[in-house]
A and B are shown apart, each in its own frame.
Chain A
Amino acid sequence: MNRRRFLSGVIKLFFLLLTVASGLIALVYTYPARIRKLKTVYIPVLDEEDIPRRGVKTVTYTYRRGEHIISTRAFVVNHRGSLYVLSPVCTHLGCLVNWHRKKQQFLCPCHGGRYDIEGRVLGGPPPKPLTRLPLKIQKGKLKIGIKV
């Protein structure tokens, strides 16, 4: 190995190491320093006497995430004697589904996902049933638990 080859090898190695180090620094710097644990908070959405006796009721509610006020909805369902709350977030890519009363199905407007009244997938791309949100009845209010 002559002097020229050796020096050009050293220079290449130097720049290779420099590139790798810069890339690592950029990655560590860019990755979020703190990832906050989400915690469940209960939000009142309905008076107890407005809970449906049968079928699906769409409720809307708002909550804060930092400075942001987020407005969204959920489905309160009373079906065959059991009361539960379904999240409207489609399990495919997160569009909000709608209740179609005639068909008795939740329909996703994005890619045609379909769910039955219990949130089970009937067709389309969704991989999982609709998420059930925790609920409790407290001081005459129906409250649902969401992660904030």
Chain B
Amino acid sequence: MGRIFDWIDERFRVKDPHRRFLQRPLPEGVNYLYCLGGVAFTLIIILLLTGLLLSLYYVPSEKEAYQSVLRITREVRLGRFVRSLHRWSANLLIVFIILHTLRVIIHRAYRAPRELNWVAGSLTLVVAFFSGFTGYLLPWDQKAYWATEVGTSMAATVPGIGRQLLYLLRGGPEVTGTTLIRFYSLHVLWLPLVMALLLWAHFHMVKRQGISGGL
């Protein structure tokens, strides 16, 4: 195994430039609280993998969405397991991003030169919220429908452009099949893509700046 990796790496050359990063000494006082971000990232990996599996059976159409989700839980082997894994990871992701943020606040790790990484991190939380919100509509049951009805109607309270914003979000004045497809596309293509870019930036800055030395 190791030998195969080494053979590949001799050509691919990814280990060498990262050695400095992977084998660097850590500052004093680092503890398990520094793993919270890593836990959030692990959850994102689980979401990506289980999401790819769900997309094999999910049908993003007004007529069939609900049935297809029922089919996943009732007929597909391990379907209930994969769906639950996606759901639980989605909820836990928000929890862990917030815990990670609290750790950063408490350690005041947002100070120079890490301000931009604080911004990148905050944006991942926003993207995670939107992923959760758009994903919640996909089962297309009563709860999903009303949650989206209420959630999107908040956009209408923005002064001046509220109404237009609402139409833009819903793809019309009401929550319909158009909204479902919009949310599906955001959920499986746009948001994961934005999330990947943000996380790349986030980890790149961690690599360049190192982690801050505690309090």
Contact = CB atoms under 8 A, between A and B. Distances in A.
Interface string A21-43: 01001101111011000000000
Q: In this complex, which of B75, B78, B81, B82 has the most chain A Cβ atoms within 10 angstroms of its Cβ? A: B78
Contacts, number: 24
Contact of A33 (B53, B56, B76): B76
A29 B77 contact: yes
A30 B75 contact: no
B49 interface: yes
B198 to A, nearest CB: 25
A: contact size bracket: 10 to 19
A34 B56 CA distance: 16
A4 to B, nearest CB: 12
Nearest to A34: B75
Interface string A5-27: 00000001000100000100110
A26 B53 CA distance: 7
Interface string B145-185: 00000000000000000000000000000000000000000
Given A12-B1, A30-B56, A22 B78 contact: no
B23 to A, nearest CB: 12
A28 B76 CA distance: 9
Contacts of A28: 77-78
A25 B76 CA distance: 12
Nearest to A31: B77
B79 interface: yes
Contacts of A29: 53, 56, 76-79, 82
Interface in B79-119: 79, 81-82
A29 B51 CA distance: 13
A22 B81 CA distance: 12
Interface of B: prevailing SS:
loop
Interface string B22-57: 000000000000000000000000000100010010
A16 B75 CA distance: 29
A30 B1 contact: no
Given A30-B53, A30-B56, A25 B78 contact: yes
B18 to A, nearest CB: 16
A32 to B, nearest CB: 9
Given A12-B1, A33-B76, A34-B75, A25 B56 contact: no
A16 B1 CA distance: 10
Contacts of A31: 77
A97 B144 CA distance: 51
Contacts of B49: 22, 26
B197 to A, nearest CB: 25
Contacts of B78: 25, 28-29
Contacts of B53: 26, 29-30
A31 B76 CA distance: 9
A31 B1 CA distance: 29
Nearest to B46: A22
A10 to B, nearest CB: 14
Interface in A56-111: none
A33 B81 contact: no
Contacts of B75: 33-34
14 contacts: A12-B1, A22-B49, A25-B78, A25-B81, A26-B53, A28-B78, A29-B53, A29-B56, A29-B76, A29-B79, A30-B53, A30-B56, A33-B75, A34-B75
